[in-house]
Structure 1
């Protein structure tokens, strides 16, 4: 019997991850490449996608692959073909699906990467069985998605779920989207690293142990490094994660007012900090939730599919045409 495999490609700010995904959501084959620098032309990113798909097709029987799904870190129009704007990439009204269709002889679906990750969690992960879910992906920035009554809610223009660009601090830190004070400038991987570097540059003595772990090289600081230091008990790393978690919880309380979900699912690379991040987020959420104590409170859990969620969801959306 012919297998109904699909290829998922997850395009983030730093990496392009691809995989062949079966109908149970299992990844059978993988590939990974660095995301071309944001100053490069759209064609270079397109080339990276095509190379990834071709590599994966060589590893399976191509006749078993029924579709290719692209999860893009940006605003995807309602046609699910055009990337309107990608803050971390060079796409501006980029007709991505049409460009790829000329080079890949399979049906192609393009969607926002957070929509893809949310769909994976709804089908195979932490959001199974939930009717109203908000998924937050914490990585280079903040992505988001809504699952309502078993479908992805994309909005009138296809751009629903861009929660990372809610303004939570008027006049705050400049964001790559063009505004100031966006949520992702306070509760993302970039925010975590920026705050740690600011403490180092200020010469704060409380960051001395963290700097020593880096061998004195502040440029080597990354989000995963801070998370690992926190796991090993570094108090400054734990404080930094708690600060990011507090900002996360404040944003979630705002989203609860808007959408009243039953569940928040927190994914993305920064979620690897688990309770060191999500614990403070829950506390801040409870403090900031309007009508607290008199209304049902959404659960906040960590995603279970990890960094694979985006490519799994992109593949499943393409296979099912959802």
Structure 2
């Protein structure tokens, strides 16, 4: 029982230090509600475990007394977050408090088969870790598909179908030699935006990513929704278009180009659809796009009544000036509308969220209460 109490106190002090770092023992006692003497004993235990260090900086307190600030040993454990995209892969190496150490953007070898892609992905993880690889305790990968509850089954990945080959993630784990977990890229992008981006202070939120594919992540009360097959938020599969056309084929980059070709309308790129002074045929295509996107945004709104919907991805970059109009359309149809906003983390939203998810695994291993994960980590990453 004494040991259990000691561990509870240690966990409480570590959790508060992660929240308010750096902090004095007095500040930690006030934040945790634990006596100063108990905090001191917990700090001694954490220092002995190389988790906490006394910082050199001193701060003045009442009557001229000075107290040593404590901080987490940030480089004790490292994590890698990966966003594997159909065009580019973004990778981020971060320390234990979420501060980015290095990040990279690399073209994805989309022609590689499942085995070669798994080998390449593992090598990318090793390369960004470099000589620090022994300190990498957790790796999280965002995938353009649905990841099942077993953490290994992948489906609905039309832009990288090799991911659906049985054993793909097991191959990455075997090649990298460290814990590797995965989730849908939109789920992780939402996690990144909730901690460091446009959905801060919005426990109930939706992330809609529109690029080569259409994805959505949903969070209620700070928890990302995941089903047994990982298809929650796969609004792109809705057969809402003409003759049951899936929404994904109406709003994504490849879908826009295909529809334009079928209509005999020339577009050099999907971005041409959003040109303000577009020709009448292009404006007609844009109207069909707007209707399809309205269905996506309506489905996202009625699914969980989010406070905010964050839009990210290549196509979303062309929609920034139209968000107020889409809000008005939602308001007209539903009587209320969430705030629509562009991603603040940009192309690295998914990798940032993968870092957050990886850090949660590290924190869980240290005994940090999972109820604190909504606030952790609190370090601000480099701007995307």
Shared fold by TM > 0.5?
A: yes
Aligned residue among 253, 266, 272 for 2:298: 253
Are residues 1:162 and 2:202 paired?
Answer: no
Q: By percentage of residues, which structure has more helix?
A: 2
CA gap 1:20/1:261 in 2 versus in 1, 3 angstroms: same
Determine helix, strand or coil for the equivalent of 1:103.
helix
Aligned residues: 285
- 1:27/1:312 contact within 8 Å kept: no
- 2:139 matched to which residue of 1? 68
RMSD (CA atoms): 2.6
Are residues 1:131 and 2:203 paired?
Answer: yes
- 2:212 matched to which residue of 1? 140
CA gap 1:196/1:118 in 2 versus in 1, 3 angstroms: same
Determine helix, strand or coil for the equivalent of 1:121.
helix
- Supply the distance in 2 between the matched residues of 1:41 and 1:281 (Cα, whole angstroms): 40
Are residues 1:86 and 2:133 paired?
Answer: no
Higher RCO (CA 8 Å, separation ≥ 6 residues): 1
Aligned residue among 2, 13, 16 for 2:89: 16
- Supply the distance in 2 between the matched residues of 1:196 and 1:85 (Cα, whole angstroms): 24
Deviation at 1:280, TM superposition (A): 4.1
- Supply the distance in 2 between the matched residues of 1:243 and 1:310 (Cα, whole angstroms): 28
From the CA coordinates, give the structure whose radius of gyration is larger: 2
Deviation at 1:93, TM superposition (A): 5.3
Deviation at 1:315, TM superposition (A): 2.1
List gaps (5 residues or longer) in structure 1.
173-180, 203-210, 212-217
Determine helix, strand or coil for the equivalent of 1:19.
strand
Deviation at 1:102, TM superposition (A): 1.0
Are residues 1:297 and 2:337 paired?
Answer: yes
CA gap 1:81/1:185 in 2 versus in 1, 3 angstroms: same
- Supply the distance in 2 between the matched residues of 1:97 and 1:162 (Cα, whole angstroms): 21
- 1:120/1:310 contact within 8 Å kept: yes
- 2:203/2:220 contact within 8 Å kept: yes
List gaps (5 residues or longer) in structure 2.
1-72, 362-372, 374-384
Are residues 1:43 and 2:100 paired?
Answer: no
Are residues 1:30 and 2:75 paired?
Answer: no
- Supply the distance in 2 between the matched residues of 1:242 and 1:279 (Cα, whole angstroms): 16
CA gap 1:186/1:106 in 2 versus in 1, 3 angstroms: same
Deviation at 1:85, TM superposition (A): 4.0
Are residues 1:270 and 2:315 paired?
Answer: yes
- 1:141/1:188 contact within 8 Å kept: yes
Deviation at 1:192, TM superposition (A): 2.8
- TM-score normalised to the size of structure 1? 0.79
- 1:223 matched to which residue of 2? 270
- Supply the distance in 1 between the matched residues of 2:292 and 2:156 (Cα, whole angstroms): 25
- 1:246/1:283 contact within 8 Å kept: no
Determine helix, strand or coil for the equivalent of 1:120.
helix
